[in-house]
């Protein structure tokens, strides 16, 4: 999938209050579900402008924010320079096209990204590889929807079936898979539910 849309919307992304609040709700859901500490090495994959990590600052250790959009990475870099994301690293990473870097994380968070990913199996395998044994993967994304969320030109996933995704996480070698309600998204008067899927790399 091209990065043009996200490159073009990056500068104004945080002006949408709903996006900010939704990211805070995802972060809250992560923080109440998995153990966090000042030592937790976090990868925020498809971080966008870094809103989810921003909401976790103070509760986590070193953060790495990865995104395939140069526009989004530019906004993250500005936030790092301004002290909003203290000490964070920024990665140009697309696991659909690139191998997983040789690094390990205690927590991978990926919020509203997976429905844009065509090579899901490859990306989930990349997450499994990037996790420290015992580390957690948290996926926030849309429940299965009728395609109205993005409109007719969108060629990604129309949300996910929770049971099907849980099976894909298991197939990727992850364990302790669970899926819970996380937050909601209102667009054009329609409410779309967002789940949080949690899984671990075997210890």
Binding site for ligand SAM (CB under 6 A): 1, 3, 6, 19, 23, 46-48, 51-52, 67-69, 72, 94, 96, 111-113, 116-117
At its nearest, how many Å lie between ligand SAM and the CB of residue 197?
A: 14
Choice between 79 and 116, CB closer to ligand SAM: 116
Taking the least distance from each CB to ligand SAM, the nearer of 17 and 163 is 17
Tell the smallest beta-carbon distance from residue 23 to ligand SAM (Å). Answer: 5
Q: What is the DSSP letter of 117?
A: -
Which residue in 134, 191, 200 sits closest to 166, CA to CA? Answer: 200
| Structure token pair of residue 163 | 């049971």
Torsion sign across C-alpha atoms 76, 10, 55, 116: negative
Name the residue number minimizing CB distance to ligand SAM.
Answer: 48
| Residues 71 and 49: beta-carbon distance below 8 Å | no
- What is the CB neighbour count within 10 angstroms for residue 132? 14
What is the C-alpha to C-alpha distance for residues 9 and 1, in angstroms, rounded to an integer? 15
Q: What angle do CA 66, 155, 6 make, to 5 degrees?
A: 35
Q: Which is nearer to ligand SAM, 3 or 193 (CB)?
A: 3
Closest distance to ligand SAM from the beta carbon of 48 (Å): 3
How far from the centroid of its chain's Cα atoms is residue 135's Cα?
15
Least distance between ligand SAM and beta carbon 131 (Å): 17
Nearest-approach distance from CB 98 to ligand SAM, in angstroms: 9
Q: Between 24 and 61, whose beta carbon lies closer to ligand SAM?
A: 24
Nearest residue (CB) to ligand SAM, 48 versus 159: 48
The answer to whether residues 193 and 148 touch, using CB atoms and an 8 Å cutoff, is: no
């Amino acid at each position: 999938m091209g990065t043009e849309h996200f490159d073009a919307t990056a500068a104004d992304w945080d002006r949408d209050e709903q996006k900010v609040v939704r990211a805070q709700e995802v972060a809250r859901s992560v923080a109440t579900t998995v153990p966090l500490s000042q030592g937790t090495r976090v990868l925020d994959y498809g971080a966008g402008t870094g809103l989810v990590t921003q909401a976790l600052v103070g509760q986590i250790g070193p953060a790495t924010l990865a995104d395939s959009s140069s526009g989004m990475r530019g906004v993250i870099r500005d936030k790092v320079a301004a002290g909003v994301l203290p000490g964070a690293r920024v990665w140009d990473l697309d696991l659909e096209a690139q191998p997983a870097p040789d690094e390990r994380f205690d927590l991978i968070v990926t919020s509203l990204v997976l429905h844009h990913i065509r090579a899901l199996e490859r990306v989930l395998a990349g997450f499994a590889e990037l996790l420290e044994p015992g580390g957690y993967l948290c996926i926030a994304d849309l429940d299965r929807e009728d395609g109205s969320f993005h409109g007719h030109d969108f060629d990604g996933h129309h949300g996910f079936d929770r049971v099907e995704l849980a099976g894909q996480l298991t197939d990727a070698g992850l364990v302790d898979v669970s899926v819970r309600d996380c937050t909601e998204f209102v667009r054009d008067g329609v409410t779309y539910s967002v789940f949080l899927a949690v899984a671990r790399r075997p210890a």
